[in-house]
Amino acid sequence: MLKLYNKYVLILYNCYEVVTIKIHYMTFGCKVNLYETECIKELLVSEGYEIAESEKNADIFIINTCTVTSESDKKLRKTVNRIRKLSPDSIIALIGCFVQAFPDKAKELNAEILIGNGNKTEILSALKEYLECKVDQLYMRDNSVNSTFEPMCLGGFQKKTRAFLKIQDGCNQFCTYCIIPKARGRICSKPVDEIRKEVEILAENGYKEVVIVGINLSFYGKEFGLRLIDAIETVCSVDGIERVRLGSLEPEVISDEDIERMSSQKKLCPQFHLSLQSGCDRTLKAMNRHYTSEEYAEIVKKLRSTFKNCAITTDIMVGFPDETEDDFEKSYNFVKNMNFSQAHIFPYSKREGTIAYKMENQVDETIKNERAKKMAAVTGKSHIEFMESHINGVYPVLFEREQSLEFHNGHTPDYLFIKVLKKSCEKSLRNQIFYVKIDKIENDCCIGHIIQ
């Protein structure tokens, strides 16, 4: 710590010695966290802090935490312990959901700075104050959650082709298995005029695709008397942006009018991630989900009839407390009939601080894993069928950063992962859209060639 303090003093007094403080950033969890980390990174770079690509070169570690499962907490603890051994003189700052939801447990970790979700951008003043104090003590900001949307604006994602745009925070739904309302507070939204300004900056910086994200995205604008479609139309109206993609959606608030208005936005990608959780109504009720399986299926039907060949992706939980074999079979058969293009299957994990944590009839871990394996098999089959339906079709592909010496990589509007052999086109295709004919399916992706 003394070595880092001396660095800070040299910078503070404008000494001639060239000195920089380097920060390594780490993000756990969702796309909202990724967005927030990038905003903090831009803020600190503008103040003279440098980015440390390697942990070994870092003076400060800023970790944006997740606490959606107990496994997330364990991973965080291991990471903090590893960093402390690697770099005992560094400053570790923990920000975000874990600190917000479990402040007492956060204090037990070997970190110098703790900031919840109330105002993450206060990390700048927190670092300055901590360095100026030159004391080894815990620094913790007021842990109240903002009732309004925290102002953040991002010019771009480092090394990324597509940009995430956070427009909503918080959740009022209180699913019985979920800690997020405690970690993120109540719903709040980014004003439309601020959305437009940020997207215009992204367009000026060369981004062609924007992914709209939020903690409970479907509830965007409720406090303003607006709806998510109002934000979608705003983003789509910005010149230079060619694709607009949506993050995860809660299905129950998507209306017929929303779908009709979305269909008129030609930039909107026909991929909808509708969180299902279970196809059994008894389980959905126990989860405090606010729709039935029939209502969910009806929304999917409307989307598929409105958007030609659209992709419907989802999340499915198995082994929720008191889920019987009959309940699981109902969920399994529902999922089988839905033909999801892709699905994230996961066993229920007990989360301290939630209602489900204390529920009776917790399902045995072995049974959970068996059910997850069975559910994954049926969704894996429908995923392959979805990919195969694209063979011989021609689709626009936005190419991304090359991660292979052999292939150019990109995605279609419905988020199929596409590979094109580099020997057919040696130049970089990054951040460009080309039409690709799909030739075959290989290793869970589509292989194709560019149509000139």
What is residue 7's predicted lDDT score, i.e. its pLDDT?
A: 53
Write down the residue that tokens 């409105």 correspond to. 306
pLDDT single digits (tens) 220-260: 999 999 999 999 999 999 999 999 999 999 998 899 999 99
pLDDT digits (tens, 9 = 90+) for 262-313: 999 999 999 999 999 999 999 999 999 999 999 999 999 999 999 988 999 9
- For residues 353 and 383, the answer to whether their CB atoms sit within 8 Å is no
Sorted by sequence, the CB contacts under 8 Å of residue 50 that are 6+ apart come out as: 20, 21, 22, 23
Please state the rounded mean pLDDT for residues 94-111: 91
% residues pLDDT > 70 (the chain): 92
Measure the CA–CA gap between 249 and 267, rounded to whole angstroms: 18
Choose which CATH entry (3.40.50.300, 3.80.30.20, 3.30.450.20, 3.40.50.1100) describes domain 163-386.
Answer: 3.80.30.20
125 pLDDT band, cuts 50/70/90, is confident
Q: Answer for the pair 144, 100: CB distance below 8 angstroms, yes or no.
A: no
Amino acid letter, residue 282: R
Q: How many angstroms separate the CA atoms of 98 and 220, rounded?
A: 24
Question: Of 304, 300, 244, 249, which is closest to residue 268 (Cα–Cα)?
Answer: 244
CATH match for 2-140 among 3.30.930.10, 3.40.50.2300, 2.102.10.10, 3.30.300.340? 3.40.50.2300
Token pair of 429, please? 């295709």
- CB 315, CB 342: distance < 8 Å: no
- Token duo for residue 264: 């008129």
Q: Which two tokens stand for residue 402?
A: 């090359």
pLDDT(10) > 50: no
Answer whether residue 2 shows pLDDT above 60: no
Is there a common fold for 2-140 and 394-450?
no
Residues 46-76 pLDDT 10s: 999 999 888 888 999 999 999 988 889 999 9
Asked if residue 321 lies in contact with residue 356, where contact means CB atoms within 8 angstroms, the answer is yes
Find out if CATH 3.90.600.10 is the number for domain 394-450. no
Q: Any idea where the domains of the chain sit in the sequence?
A: 2-140, 163-386, 394-450
Q: What is the pLDDT of residue 16?
A: 45
Rounded mean pLDDT, 111-127: 88
Q: Token digits for 432?
A: 């460009």
